[in-house]
Chain A
Amino acid sequence: MSILSKFAPLRQTYDQLRSVGQNPFEMVFEDMLSSTEGIYRGKKTILLGTNNYLGLTFDEACIEESVAAVRAHGTGTTGSRIANGSYGTHRKLESDLAKYFNRQHCMVFSTGYQANLGMLSTLAGKGDYLLLDTDSHASIYDGARLGHAEVVRFRHNDPDDLRKRLKRLANEPGQKLVVVEGIYSMLGDTAPLREFAEVKREMGAWLMVDEAHSLGVLGEHGRGLAEEAGVEADCDFIVGTFSKSLGSVGGFCVSNVPEFDILRVACRPYMFTASLPPAVMASTITALRRMQEQPERRQRLHENAQRLYHGLRKLGFAVGPQCSPIVSVAVPEVPVAVEFWNRLLEGGVYLNLAMPPATPTPSPLLRSSVSAVHTPAQIDRAVQLFETVGRQLGVLPPAVAPARKRAPVASAIPAHAEVAMLASGGAR
Chain B
Amino acid sequence: MTETLQNTQAEIIEGLKEILKRPAQLDATTNIVRDLQLDSLVVMDFIMSLEDRFEIVIPLDRVAEVETLGDLARVVDQLRGRN
A-side interface residues toward B, CB under 8 Å?
Answer: 134, 144-145, 150-153, 155, 164-165, 168-169, 356-357, 361-362, 426-428
Contact = CB atoms under 8 A, between A and B. Distances in A.
A169 B61 CA distance: 16
A426 B59 contact: no
A420 to B, nearest CB: 15
B51 to A, nearest CB: 7
Contacts of A155: 48
Given A165-B51, A168-B55, A153 B60 contact: yes
Contact of B57 (A145, A165, A428): A165
Contacts of A356: 39, 41
Contacts of B40: 357
A164 B53 CA distance: 12
B29 to A, nearest CB: 23
> Which of A362, A426, A427 gathers most chain B CB within 10 Å?
A427
B17 to A, nearest CB: 17
Given A357-B41, A428-B45, 7 more contacts: A144-B60, A151-B61, A155-B48, A165-B51, A165-B57, A356-B41, A427-B41
Contacts of B10: none
B33 interface: no
A134 B51 CA distance: 14
Contacts of B55: 168
Interface residues of B, number: 16
Contacts of A151: 59-61
Nearest to A150: B59
13 contacts: A134-B44, A134-B48, A145-B60, A150-B59, A153-B48, A155-B48, A168-B55, A168-B57, A356-B41, A357-B40, A361-B41, A362-B39, A427-B45
Nearest to A151: B60
A362 B41 CA distance: 8
Nearest to A362: B41
Contacts of A165: 51, 57
B75 to A, nearest CB: 13
SS class, residues of chain B in contact with chain A: helix
Contact of A153 (B39, B44, B52, B61): B44
B56 interface: yes
Contacts of B20: none
Interface in B27-83: 39-42, 44-45, 48, 51-52, 55-61
Nearest to B83: A168
Contacts of B41: 356-357, 361-362, 426-428
Contacts of A427: 39, 41-42, 45
A383 to B, nearest CB: 30
Contacts of B39: 356-357, 362, 427
A169 B57 contact: yes
A355 to B, nearest CB: 12
Contacts of B45: 427-428
Contacts of A152: 57-60
Contacts of A357: 39-41
B58 to A, nearest CB: 8
Contacts of A428: 41, 45
A271 B58 CA distance: 32
Contacts of A145: 60
A165 B51 CA distance: 9
A120 to B, nearest CB: 13
Nearest to B59: A150
A362 B43 CA distance: 13
> Which of A151, A153, A165, A356 gathers most chain B CB within 10 Å?
A153
Contacts of A168: 51, 55-57
A169 B51 CA distance: 12
Contacts of A153: 44, 48, 60
> Which of B39, B51, B56, B57 gathers most chain A CB within 10 Å?
B57
A169 B56 CA distance: 9
Contacts of B58: 152
Contacts of A426: 41-42
B61 A150 contact: yes
A98 B41 CA distance: 38
Contacts of A144: 60
A187 to B, nearest CB: 14
A391 to B, nearest CB: 30
A362 B59 CA distance: 24
B81 to A, nearest CB: 15
Q: Which 9 A-B pairs have the closest CB atoms?
A: A427-B41, A150-B59, A151-B60, A427-B42, A168-B57, A357-B40, A152-B57, A427-B45, A151-B59
A152 B52 CA distance: 13
